[in-house]
Chain A
Amino acid sequence: MDARSFRRRSIVSFVGIFFGQSIGFLSYLLIGLFRNNALPVGWVGVAVIWYSVGVVVFLGARIAIPYVDPVILPIVFALTGLGLAMIHRIDLAFPDDRADMPSQFIAVVVGVVALLVIIFFLKDPRRLKGFPYLLALLGCFLLLLPLVPGLGREINGARIWIGLGPFSFQPAEVAKLVLAASFAAYLADNKEVLAGAGRKVLGVELPRLRDLGPVALVWGVSVLVMVTQTDFGTALLFFGLFLAMVYVATGKGSWVIVGLGLFLAAGTVAVQFTSHIQRRIDYWLRPFDFPPGSDPYHDATQIIQAQFGMSSGGLIGTGWGLGRPTLVPFASSDMIATSLAEEIGIVGLMAIIILYGLLAFRGLKAALMATEPFLKLFGAGLSFVFLLQSFIVIGGATRLLPLTGLITPFLSQGGSAMMVNWMLVALILVISHQTRRPVIELDPTSTAGVTGLEDEATQEISVKVLAQIGSGVIQPVQQINGEQIRLGTDGAPLVKPSEVYQISYRSPEPVSEAAALGVARHHDEDTYFGRGTD
C-alpha cells in the first residue's frame, strides 16, 4: 500500500526558470548584436529586471506550492521571453519610438501578480465547483459583451474588444477561464448522464438525443459568437474545449464526432452570412488570387507575406533582427509565429511548438493524476485551452488552417491575453501541486488529525482526503448501533480512501489492480481519466 509522491524539485525548478528566461534574454542580446554590432544599451538593467521577475515567481511558488510541477514555469518563461524579444525587435523596425515591448512587459508583470495571487489565495480551485451555471452565464456574458453598443469595439473586422477609456480589453480571454471552470463543474456532476449510450448508427454509438441539451447550448453560443462577432477562432476554441472536456469526462468518442459535425454544419451556414469568414477561407485556399492591394489589412497580404517570410527564414532563420517580419500586418500579435519562423527558422518554430506540446502535456499529466473529478476536468480543460489555441493560431499563420485572430499564448502582443494566460498557468500549477503533494498521514490513534481538517494549517489535506470520500463529509466518529467506531481504534489504521484509490491504479500488484476496495471502484467509475495510468 504505497502512495506515490513527488519531491519538491526546487533546484530543477530554479535552474529551469533561469534557463527559460535566458532564451528570451539571449534573443534580446542577439537583436542588438546583429542589428547594431553592439550589445543593447542598458542591457544590464534589462537583465536585472527580467531575471528578478523569474526569481519572484520562483520564490512565490516555492513558498505557496512547493510540490509544483518543475517544468511548467520554465516553459512559460521561455515562451514569454521569446515573445517579448520579438515584440522588441519589431519595435526597433519602426522609425518612431514605438514601445510595445515595455507595455507588453507590464502586462507580463500584471500576469505574474495574478499568478501569485492565485497560488497564494486559491490553493483549492474546487471552490469554483459550486456554481457551474452561474459561471456559464458569466462566461457567455463575457463572450457576448463586445456586442453591447458603445462598449464593444470592432477592430480589423472582428468585434471582440471592449473599450474602457483608452484601454481595450478582450473579454473572451477571461471567458476562457470562466467557461473551463463551468464546464468542469457541470461535467463532474453530470458525466454519467452524458455517458449513457444511445442508438448505433453505422457502427458508431451515438449519444442519446435527450442528453444533447448542454451541447446544443454551447454550440448555440459558439455559433452566435461566430456570426455576430465574425470571430471563427474564438468559436472554435470554446466549442473545441467543450468537446474535449466532454470526451475526457465520458470517454465517448461519439460526442466528438457528433460535435464536430454540428460545428462544421454551423460553420458552413455562418460562411453564407458573414463575408468576413468567407474571405478568410478564400485567403487560406488561394491567397495569390487576392494580390496585395491598397488596404493591406483587408486582403491576403498578411498570409502571402507570412509565407514569404517563412521561406526567407528557411531552416535556421535569417537571424534575430535580420529579417523583414514587419512586412506582415500584425507581425507582433496574430502573426508572431511566422515572424519568429522568419528569424529563428523552422528549427526555432518547431522548438516553440514542442514547448506548447510539453506545456499541455504537463497540464494533462497533473489532471491525470488528480483524483477528484472536478480538478481532473478543470486541469484537462485548461491544458486543452493552450493546446487548441496554439494549434488554431499557429496553424492559421502557417496556412494549415484559415487564419483567425486568436492570440498565440504567451508570445503574442496583447495585454488581456497575457494576463489571463498567466492565470490559467497558475491554476494548472496549483492543480499539479495538489496532485504531487504527499498524502498527509492522519494519526491512527486519535481523531485529532481528522478534526484538524478544519484548521487552516491542514486545509490542504482536505483536498485529497475529502475528495475521496465523495460525500464531502468526514465523520471522525461514526455512531452505529449505539456503538462508537473510531477510525483505527485497534491501533491498525483504516486505510484512507485516498490511498486505496492510488493503489487501485498505480500499484503493480495484481490484486490491488482489480480495484483495491469498493471505494476505489466507486471512484474509478467517477474518473474515467484514471483508467490508463501514466
Chain B
Amino acid sequence: MAEFTVLVLKIAFLAIVWLFIVFIASVVNSDMVGRRQRTQASVDSAWARKRKNEPWVLAIDSGAHAGDRLQLVPKVRIGRSDACELVLSDDYVSSMHAILSRQDNGTWVIRDLGSTNGTYVNGNRLQDPTIVGPADIIRVGEVQMRLEL
C-alpha cells in the first residue's frame, strides 16, 4: 500500500479515536447535572409557606448541632433514633423525644412523646401539646431550637 495512503489512514484512525473521546466528553458534559425532578414533597414546598408567612426553618441555637438551620417538613420527629426526621446525637435526648407538627391552619404544635428528660418551651416543661411560634424557645435535651419565618 502506498506510503501516502497509509499515512492518511493512520491519521484518520487516530482522528476517529480522539473523536470517540470527544464524544465521551460531550456525553459526560451533558450528563453533569442530571435532571431536576419535582417530588411530591416539593409541592408543599418551603417557598409556599414562606409566602404565607409561616415558619419554615428550624434554627438550632445550642448543643451539638448549633448553628444549623433546617428546612421544616410538615411533621418533624425529634429524637436519637435514625427513624426521626431530626436526629440529635445528644445523650439527654430520648430515641423518640418529641414531635413538631404543622396544623392545617399553618400553626406548629409540639408534643412530648414521653421522653425521659422532657421537652421545654420557654423553660416550662411540656405537659400537653403546645402551639409554638417564632418567639418561643424549644429545648430538647441540651439542644435549643426555635422556628423562624
**A residues engaging B (CB < 8 A)?**
1-7, 9, 12, 15-16, 19-20, 22-23, 26-27, 30, 33-34, 37, 69-71, 74-75, 78, 316-317, 319-320, 322, 344-345, 347-348, 351, 354-355, 358, 361-362, 436, 438-439, 441, 444, 469-471, 473, 475, 478, 480-481, 485, 488, 490, 492-497, 499-500, 503, 509, 511-512, 514-519, 521-522, 534
Contacts and interface: CB of A to CB of B under 8 A. Distances in A.
B27 A70 contact: yes
Interface string B13-28: 1101110110111011
A7 B68 CA distance: 33
Nearest to B38: A2
Contacts of B23: 15-16, 19
Contact of A19 (B20, B37, B46): B20
Given A27-B13, A74-B24, A519-B87, A438 B37 contact: yes
Contacts of A2: 36-39, 42
Contacts of B121: none
Contacts of B31: 6, 9, 69-71
B61 interface: no
A362 B32 CA distance: 11
Nearest to B17: A351
B40 interface: yes
Given A12-B27, A30-B9, A316-B10, A78 B20 contact: yes
A319 B10 contact: yes
B87 A518 contact: yes
Nearest to B3: A319
Interface string B45-77: 110000000000100000001011111011111
B65 A521 contact: yes
B132 interface: no
28 contacts: A1-B41, A19-B20, A22-B16, A37-B1, A71-B24, A317-B10, A317-B14, A344-B13, A344-B17, A345-B14, A444-B40, A478-B77, A478-B83, A481-B114, A485-B75, A493-B40, A495-B73, A495-B85, A497-B85, A503-B71, A509-B46, A511-B69, A512-B71, A514-B70, A516-B71, A518-B86, A519-B86, A522-B82
A519 B80 CA distance: 10
B6 A499 contact: no
A348 B46 contact: no
Interface residues of B, number: 61
A469 B9 contact: no
Nearest to B39: A3
B41 to A, nearest CB: 5
Nearest to A315: B14
Nearest to B67: A514
A104 B27 CA distance: 30
B15 to A, nearest CB: 10
A316 B7 CA distance: 9
A70 B27 CA distance: 8
B104 interface: yes
A359 to B, nearest CB: 10
Given A4-B34, A23-B17, A30-B13, A495 B86 contact: no
A494 B73 contact: yes
B35 A6 contact: yes
Contacts of B96: 478, 480
B81 interface: yes
A317 B113 CA distance: 75
B54 to A, nearest CB: 13
B131 interface: no
B103 to A, nearest CB: 9
A4 B82 contact: no
A473 B1 CA distance: 69
B46 A511 contact: yes
Contacts of B13: 26-27, 30, 320, 344
Given A2-B36, A470-B82, A9 B68 contact: no
